[in-house]
């Protein structure tokens, strides 16, 4: 069983990867896409999107980060993959799942799922450009408007050299509207000779159980569910399949507060001050889906425009937000233990 951490353009970047992988539970993460559009990208471009490349391709907590590439020209994708390979990423992933109109209008992401032969040529060219031992995977949706060519697309990618496929179980037209059609993951898995990973609408441990039952695959990628519930992966790993009660959620929130403070510090280092409030609100709004305290916090920071105002409100809610030049709020290599699970483990040991 593998649990993978999904890429989420504009939200789950290197700063949030630090936070979520400190909580742990993931076999590897996948970066946001590096867009390839006709030029040979410099090393600094890849390092900007995936600064983990300067740490052996791992987050500060040690989780491997596979670098995702998006593009439609096989030769250009191959040339850039060869350049990226010199930076020794733990793996490379191809994006055929992004439904964003701005990406799709320029021949990228899920828009290519009407062209299985092009998918094969891209995968084959990239595979040929990489060292033999470097993993290559691909992430796809079920199709553009329907799932009629889903198996054909998956076969094209596997035949082209993708060593496993992540299937987001919705079409491009579906966007992120529920439900996710996990039964199609089972059909794709039966059609290809490589492992398949299920993705989409896994918000809880019970969703994870149902996803595996319906899809018939062991491996699952978590995206928005992981952002909303940072302890989801470690709870699954520990067999905690019941929803946490109010006391457990309160204990989780206490454990998350310093992590949120470190995230705020990382955001300030990465983006201009005028953009920082929006990034902070994004994560707090997602956390509000699972934590009552986050709902209260989001209600307070939502109307605020400036970073000092947001930082002051965070402080009022018990979240210290260090300034960019300050030392990290905690040891970034230290795992954030899930409080109820840690107590249960101590009780078992006794």
3-class secondary structure per residue, the chain: CCEEECCECCCECHHHHHHHHHHCCCCEEEEEEEECCCCCCCHHHHHHHCHHHHHCCECCCCCEEEEEEECCCHHHHHHHHHHHHCCCCCCEEEEECCCCHHHHCCCCHHHHHHCHHHHHHHHHHHHHHCCCCCCEEEEECCCCCCCCCHHHHHHHHHHHCCCEEEEECCCCCCCCCCCCCHHHHHHHHHHCCCCEEEECCCCCHHHHHHHHHHHCCCEEEECHHHHHCCCHHHHHHCCCCCCCCHHHHHHHHHHHHHHHHHHHHHHHHHCCCCCHHHHHHHHHHHHCCCCHHHHHHHHHHCCCCCHHHHHHHHHHCCCCCCCCCCCCCCCCCCCCCCHHHHHHHHHHHC
To the query of whether residue 76 is one of the catalytic residues in this protein, the response is no
Q: Which of 98, 153, 211, 234 is catalytic?
A: 98
Residues labelled as active-site residues: 98
């Amino acid at each position: 069983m593998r649990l993978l951490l999904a890429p989420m353009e504009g939200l789950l970047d290197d700063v949030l990867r630090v936070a979520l992988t400190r909580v742990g539970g993931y076999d590897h993460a996948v970066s946001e896409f590096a867009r390839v559009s006709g030029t040979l990208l410099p090393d600094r471009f890849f390092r900007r999107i995936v600064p983990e490349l300067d740490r052996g391709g791992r987050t500060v907590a040690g989780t491997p980060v596979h670098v995702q590439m998006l593009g439609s020209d096989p030769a250009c994708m191959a040339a850039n993959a060869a350049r990226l390979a010199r930076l020794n990423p733990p793996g490379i992933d191809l994006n055929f799942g992004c439904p964003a109109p701005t990406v799709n209008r320029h021949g990228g992401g899920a828009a290519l799922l009407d062209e299985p032969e092009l998918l094969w040529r891209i995968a084959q060219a990239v595979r040929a450009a990489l060292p033999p031992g470097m993993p290559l995977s691909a992430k796809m949706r079920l199709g553009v408007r329907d799932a009629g060519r889903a198996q054909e697309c998956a076969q094209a990618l596997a035949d082209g050299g993708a060593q496993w496929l992540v299937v987001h179980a919705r079409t491009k037209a579906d966007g992120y509207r529920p439900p996710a059609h996990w039964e199609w993951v089972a059909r794709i898995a039966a059609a290809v000779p490589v492992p398949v990973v299920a993705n989409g609408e896994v918000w809880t441990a019970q969703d994870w159980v149902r996803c595996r039952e319906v899809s018939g695959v062991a491996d699952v990628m978590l995206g928005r569910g992981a952002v909303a519930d940072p302890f989801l992966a470690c709870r699954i790993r520990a067999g905690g399949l019941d929803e946490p009660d109010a006391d457990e959620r309160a204990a989780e929130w206490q454990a998350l507060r310093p992590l949120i403070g470190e995230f705020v510090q990382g955001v300030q280092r990465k983006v201009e001050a005028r953009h920082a409030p929006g990034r902070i609100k994004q994560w707090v709004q997602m956390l509000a889906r699972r934590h009552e305290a986050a709902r209260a916090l989001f209600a307070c920071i939502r109307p605020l425009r400036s970073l000092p105002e947001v930082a002051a409100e965070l402080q009022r809610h018990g979240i210290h937000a260090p300034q960019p030049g300050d030392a990290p709020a905690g040891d970034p290599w230290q795992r954030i233990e899930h409080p109820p699970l840690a107590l249960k483990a101590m009780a078992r040991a006794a």
